[in-house]
Structure 1
Amino acid sequence: MIHYHQHLIDGDMRAATGAATTTIHDSTTEEPLATIAHGSAADVEAAVKAARAAFARWSSTSVEQRAAYLLAIADALEAQSDRMADSVVAEVGMPLKLALRIQVQAPIAAWRTTAARAAEALAETRVAHSLVTKEPVGIVAAITPWNYPLHQITAKLAAALVAGCCVVLKPSELAPGVVAALCEAALEARLPRGVLNVVVGDRSTGEALIAHPGIDMVSFTGSTAAGRQIAASAGARLKRVALELGGKSASIALPDADLAAVVKHALSSCMLNSGQTCSAITRLIVPDAQYPAYREQLRGGLANLRIGDPRDAGSRLGPLVSAAHRSRVSAYIERAQQASYDEIADDTQTVLPARGYFVAPAIFGRVPADAELAQEEVFGPVLAVQTYSTEEEAVALANGTPYGLAGAVWSASAEHALRVARRLRAGQIDVNGAPFNASAPFGGFGASGMGREGGTFGIEDFIELRAIQLPQ
Structure 2
Amino acid sequence: MNVMHSPTVGPKTPESFFINGRWVEPISKQLLKVVSPATEELLLSYPEAGPADIDRAVAAARAAFDKGPWPQMSATERARYLRRVAELLNGRLDEIAQAWTLQVGAPISLTKKLVGQNPTLFNYYADLIETFAFVDERKRDDGGRVRVVKEPVGVCAAITPWNAPLVLLSYKVAAGLAAGCTMVAKPSPETPLEAYILAECIERAGLPEGVFNIVPAGREGGDRLVRHKGIDKVAFTGSTGAGKHIAAVCSERLARVSLELGGKSAAVLLDDADFQAALPSLMVYTMPITGQVCFSLTRILVPERREKEFLDLYLGAVSGIKVGDPFDPTTQMGPLTMARQRARVEGYIAAGRAEGARIACGGGRPQGLDRGYYVEPTVFTDVTPHMKIVQEEIFGPVVSVLTYRDEDEAAEKANNSSYGLSGAVYTVDPERGYRMARRMRTGSVTINGMIVDPKHPFGGYKQSGIGREGGPEGLDNYLETKTIHYA
TM range (shorter): over 0.9
Tell me the equivalent position of 1:465. Answer: 481
Distance in 2 (CA, whole Å) between partners of 1:75 and 1:149 is 19
The 5-angstrom pairing of residues 187-202 of structure 1 reads 187-202=203-218
Q: Report whether the alignment pairs 1:55 with 2:71.
A: no
Distance in 1 (CA, whole Å) between partners of 2:189 and 2:365 is 34
- Report the CA distance shift for 1:223/1:348 in structure 2 as closer, same or farther (over 3 A): closer
Query: Which moves more between the two structures, 446-455 or 116-125?
Result: 116-125
Distance in 1 (CA, whole Å) between partners of 2:19 and 2:450 is 42
Equivalent residues of 1:352, 1:359 under 8 A apart: no
Equivalent residues of 2:109, 2:330 under 8 A apart: no
Paired residue type of 1:106: Q
Shift of 1:412: 1.4
Distance in 2 (CA, whole Å) between partners of 1:230 and 1:348 is 35
Equivalent residues of 1:36, 1:173 under 8 A apart: no
Tell me the equivalent position of 1:246. Answer: 262
Tell me the equivalent position of 1:16. Answer: 26
Structure 2: 5+ residue stretches without partners: 1-10, 140-144
Equivalent residues of 1:267, 1:301 under 8 A apart: yes
Q: Report whether the alignment pairs 1:88 with 2:104.
A: no
Q: Report whether the alignment pairs 1:73 with 2:89.
A: no
Shift of 1:432: 1.3
Deviation by residue 1:167-193 (Cα, 9 ceiling, x = unmatched):
111110111111121111111111110
The 5-angstrom pairing of residues 287-366 of structure 1 reads 287-347=303-363, 350-366=366-382
- Over the matched positions of the two proteins, sequence identity in percent amounts to 37
Distance in 2 (CA, whole Å) between partners of 1:179 and 1:434 is 27
Q: Report whether the alignment pairs 1:42 with 2:52.
A: yes
Shift of 1:352: 4.8
Tell me the equivalent position of 1:260. Answer: 276
Shift of 1:337: 2.4
Residue 293 of structure 1 aligns to a residue whose secondary structure is helix
Shift of 1:122: 4.4
Equivalent residues of 2:349, 2:363 under 8 A apart: no
Equivalent residues of 2:226, 2:249 under 8 A apart: yes
Q: How many residues align?
A: 470
User: Which of 455, 460, 463 is equivalent to 1:439?
Assistant: 455
Equivalent residues of 1:115, 1:162 under 8 A apart: yes
Equivalent residues of 1:96, 1:311 under 8 A apart: yes
User: Which of 222, 225, 228 is equivalent to 1:209?
Assistant: 225
Distance in 1 (CA, whole Å) between partners of 2:381 and 2:169 is 36
Residue 223 of structure 2 aligns to a residue whose secondary structure is helix
Tell me the equivalent position of 2:470. Answer: 454
Distance in 2 (CA, whole Å) between partners of 1:41 and 1:153 is 22
Structure 1: 5+ residue stretches without partners: none
Paired residue type of 1:236: E
Shift of 1:348: 5.7
Shift of 1:314: 0.8
Residue 155 of structure 1 aligns to a residue whose secondary structure is helix
Shift of 1:2: 5.0
RMSD of equivalent CA atoms = 1.5
Paired residue type of 1:35: S
Tell me the equivalent position of 1:149. Answer: 165
Deviation by residue 1:398-451 (Cα, 9 ceiling, x = unmatched):
111110000011111111110010011111000112643321110000100001
Deviation by residue 1:368-416 (Cα, 9 ceiling, x = unmatched):
1111111100001111111111211110111111100000111111111
Tell me the equivalent position of 1:116. Answer: 127
Tell me the equivalent position of 2:414. Answer: 398
Equivalent residues of 2:319, 2:361 under 8 A apart: no
Tell me the equivalent position of 1:168. Answer: 184
Q: Whose helix proportion is higher, 1 or 2?
A: 1
Q: Report whether the alignment pairs 1:27 with 2:43.
A: no
Distance in 1 (CA, whole Å) between partners of 2:175 and 2:156 is 11
Distance in 1 (CA, whole Å) between partners of 2:162 and 2:433 is 34
Shift of 1:468: 1.2
Deviation by residue 1:150-176 (Cα, 9 ceiling, x = unmatched):
100000000000100001111101111
Paired residue type of 1:118: I
- Report the CA distance shift for 1:352/1:394 in structure 2 as closer, same or farther (over 3 A): farther
Shift of 1:342: 2.4
Paired residue type of 1:12: R
Paired residue type of 2:105: G
Any runs of at least 4 consecutive aligned residues in structure 1 with deviations exceeding 6 A, and if so which? none
Deviation by residue 1:186-233 (Cα, 9 ceiling, x = unmatched):
111111100001110001001111111111101000000000000000
Tell me the equivalent position of 2:16. Answer: 6
